[in-house]
Amino acid sequence: MKEARQLALDFEPLVEHDFTLAECPRWDWRHQFWFWVDIANGELWRYHDNQLAVRRWDEPLGCVAMWQEEGYVLATKSGVYLLTDWNADRQLVAPLVKTHPRIRFNDGRAAPGGHFIAGTRNGAKVGDKGQFYQLAGEDQLAAMPMYAWTCNGLAFSPCGKILYWADTGSRVIYRADYDPATSAYGESEVFADLSAFEGRPDGACVDSLGGYWVAMYAGKSVLRLNAEGEVTHVIPVPADNPTMVALGGEQGNQLVVTSAASGSAAGVVLTASVEWQGIEEPLVTVI
């Protein structure tokens, strides 16, 4: 196994704004802009034509995915909602049935084939662990046997046939077979154990070569792993708590990293250029 390469990038703020828990950055290729959430404040942000805009709700907003030409799917503390366009009122699609009051949706995205998948987090670490759910037809959330106190790191290989997810607490990344045509999936197996690296695996994405990029919360870094689960690059990030990473932009090689506030600094949204290309984020089509 080759030793991981240290890769220094010239990060700069994507926007000049402070956040509490910035997460889930996505490149909206439909209209050419970046959007993300601030989980703790229930906010959906977008940066379009050098202008910031925000939508707010009265509960934590864990993640968001694109739906059709204008809309979004939101996963919150209370359930999954549909936003038909940026200015629309949200519509409940499926409630989240909780066994503990601190369970909420956390990390998620559109799967190849059009299903929406999101995992939950139980911050109390009492009772049931969080787990992933797949939004099936007829507004049903189908539970998936993928459990963690904090479910994270959801991403798909460029071919769409491999699902990755992270157990943040144990610092382990898993992989499972996935069928985009049927939304069926196989058993999870260990893809990588990151306990030798500083921080804990949080949100992730995949590049066009199949590399898995993961933000290391409390590790001030992003790791890139190859398709065999080996860490190829360690990228220092000028933020205490990186939360998620995305690749996109007009040329496909813009790296965006979100972060959460720490005791000494606010959360930020950072960007840098890299030599890798992102893959186009799927749209949710199954509601």
Q: Which sequence positions are flagged as catalytic?
A: 202
Rounded-to-5 percentages of helix, strand, coil across the chain: 0, 55, 45
> 234-252 burial string, b = 16+ CB within 10 Å, else e?
bbebebbbbbbbbbbbeeb
Give the span between the Cα atoms of 115 and 109, in whole angstroms. 9
Phi, psi for residue 39 in degrees, rounded to 5: -55, -55
Closest by Cα among 48, 49, 138, 130 to 96:
130
Which residue numbers belong to the known binding site for a divalent metal cation? 23, 152, 202
In a 10 Å sphere around its CB, with 0-12 CB exposed, 13-18 middle and 19+ buried, how is residue 266 labelled? middle
Which residue numbers belong to the known binding site? 23, 104, 106, 152, 202
